[in-house]
Amino acid sequence: EDQVTQSPEALRLQEGESSSLNCSYTVSGLRGLFWYRQDPGKGPEFLFTLYSAGEEKEKERLKATLTKKESFLHITAPKPEDSATYLCAVQADSGTYKYIFGTGTRLKVLA
């Protein structure tokens, strides 16, 4: 069964304190792994898609990496405005177009 597990559930960082969020997955064949940011009371906002092991993508203070079993979202020198829930999802290559989401990591960055 396809499954996505995110850790930690919650993370508190001081402004400027870099860290990483983990997304481990089990899927029969991976078509893509997706990262989203969700602010309270709003819909998720797309960040990245990764398609193959070794791939990396970067946007401002965020960098996403992918291995055959997990993905990391690295946050460098975070700011309070980076506080949000970060969601990971996978899509299998079975042609069903379904997305399986993890439960997210709640990030709080303190000034």
Partner 1 sequence: NAGVTQTPKFRILKIGQSMTLQCTQDMNHNYMYWYRQDPGMGLKLIYYSVGAGITDKGEVPNGYNVSRSTTEDFPLRLELAAPSQTSVYFCASIIAGGKFGDEQFFGPGTRLTVL
- Contact pick of 28, 29, 46, 111 for partner 1 (by CB under 8 A): 46
Q: How far is the CB of 101 from partner 1 (least distance, A)?
A: 4
User: How far is residue 95's CA from residue 26's CA, in Å, rounded to a whole number?
Assistant: 17
Which of 13, 21, 30, 34 is in the footprint of partner 1 by CB under 8 A? 34
Question: Is there binding between residue 101 and partner 1 (CB under 8 A)?
Answer: yes
**Cβ atoms of residues 75 and 62 within 8 Å:** yes
> Which positions lie near partner 1, rule CB under 8 A?
4, 6, 32, 34, 36, 41-51, 57, 59, 87, 89, 91, 96-104
